[in-house]
Chains A and B, each alone.
Chain A
């Protein structure tokens, strides 16, 4: 292990403090006894208790969860399909244009995405609610999924699919039985990414929702305007927890797979 120089220690400390101190304060204050957010009065978990009795929050949480599961699943299916065609489809007219265009929504300001979707939904006369948020979230998180999946596909050994075809599998079977199981870790991390993106989106959801559906970030936003309550801190802490678990799982999933393959290969070399 290399020892860090004092300069590096200082840089690291400042960098990470800047990143994580606000969240840390939020989490600490969610365990505050006092109703005043900025005054520490002792440890308590009471706000988590009251949170779970707050119908409005629970409703919003349920809506958020539904939206996240549906949109991330839909985005994973569509994003994987898009990635597959762009990486595997060979040369077709406008391929470069299409693969460029798939990245565009990644850098598009959310306000514009939200606004354009709102106009679309109004235009086609769709009632705004859970379904419109799901569609909107699918639209933007699909790009993230397809970026993750296509980077995996581009290193995927094409001859595996050819071998499957050669052994009599149809194109679809070759994808289902060979390609998909092998790229599964990338597809799952794509799903988790889409899930967390949907979970914490405020802007696009606000644009595309109707009166019937309020997501958790929207609920938090509107209650914060009336003043920060310790309850909100508790809720936010839970969200931080969920998102962290999602992101960490996604990265571990791909890392553990690589480590396992390497370990087993070493084992095989010892055997022979």
Chain B
């Protein structure tokens, strides 16, 4: 494994492609983007994740040139792009609403941007065909946008924004209307395109699994601010706040007070008879309020108390959610708290080990959870 890890954000020598410098965007009194500073590097696949209305599209529109920051500046390759109109930016955007031209065929929609450049007729035709093949729209070139399905429209919008092979591509929920299979295929195609063309992608998605799959870094946003930016693994394994932990994936949050318990180890009193032991590099003072975030798949479920378990509690099965490859058990503790534990279904359902009302033991290691400030 001589492969170098792609992490330009850790390299001080690298110059960012995009820099948001103290950007604030207000619509009237409403603050859509709140003093945001963020670098995005060349060849990154940068995913924006956040609840509806948190300002993802607004960030995209500022990059594309449809909105100007109220305060602060946005730099592209080190140059402030404040005065550059959208048609002069080497940036293409795929609109959340697709914005396909209804009077033009699928073919002409894709060719629209190419025709605005100095490209020759044959070259344009070749490029459009390439895009149609890529998005599996070969049969639909002659159709108008209202004659194709929602998912096909989405692919046309994607093809149209990809056609010009821009330096920076903004994708606003590019795959939301596709079925799972096609979505995964397209995700891998996007990553392929990204690798071959070296285009920088900024992608908005509601689907955290998608963000995890494609992104080099994920930014979790809330109310116009970025709460955490990190690689998908870091975001998932080491969220910096309860908000991020809760937003990405499923999580159990144990609320309590921390107490030092040796070197970089804390005992969290969470209202149970035994405190939970958790390792943390983040320091906590004795008696400080803390939240212990543990992913359900890090909690083991067993009939007997595992002998060597650092943390173990008993409860009874309240509910079982069968997810095919996984099952999530909702286990009620004597205190009334409900903990989710997940296990892989390596056996058939009929021989499932636990069922409703069964008494079970839940156990997890000291490093399974992340201790967060309340």
Contact = CB atoms under 8 A, between A and B. Distances in A.
Q: Bound pair: A and B?
A: yes
Interface stretch (B7-15, B93-101, B193-201): B93-101
A181 B113 CA distance: 17
A5 interface: no
B116 A169 contact: yes
19 contacts: A162-B64, A163-B93, A163-B100, A164-B101, A165-B65, A166-B86, A166-B87, A166-B91, A167-B112, A167-B116, A168-B164, A169-B112, A170-B87, A177-B112, A178-B101, A182-B101, A182-B103, A264-B144, A265-B147
A164 B164 CA distance: 13
A182 B112 contact: no
- Interface residue range, chain B: 20 to 34
A9 interface: no
Contacts of B100: 163
Given A160-B99, A168-B116, 15 more contacts: A159-B99, A160-B101, A163-B93, A163-B100, A165-B65, A166-B93, A167-B87, A168-B87, A169-B116, A178-B103, A182-B103, A267-B147, A268-B147, A271-B149, A272-B151
A271 B151 CA distance: 13
A11 interface: no
B160 interface: yes
B87 A169 contact: yes
B356 interface: no
Contacts of A177: 112
Interface in B58-89: 64-66, 85-87
B146 A264 contact: yes
B148 A168 contact: no
Nearest to B149: A272
Given A264-B146, A269-B149, A272-B152, A165 B86 contact: yes
A181 to B, nearest CB: 5
A167 B164 contact: yes
Interface of B: 64-66, 85-87, 91-93, 95, 97, 99-103, 112-113, 116-117, 143-144, 146-149, 151-152, 160, 164
A268 B149 contact: yes
Interface of A: 157, 159-160, 162-171, 173, 177-178, 181-182, 261, 264-265, 267-269, 271-272
Given A159-B97, A182-B103, A164 B149 contact: no
B86 to A, nearest CB: 4
Contacts of A167: 87, 92, 112-113, 116, 160, 164
A82 B164 CA distance: 34
A157 B99 contact: yes
A198 B147 CA distance: 40
List 5 tightest A-B contacts by C-beta distance, closest first: A167-B113, A272-B149, A168-B116, A163-B99, A159-B99
B86 A268 contact: no
A268 B147 CA distance: 5
Contact of B87 (A159, A165, A265, A271): A165
Contacts of A264: 144, 146-147
A268 B103 contact: no
Given A168-B116, A264-B146, A163 B103 contact: no
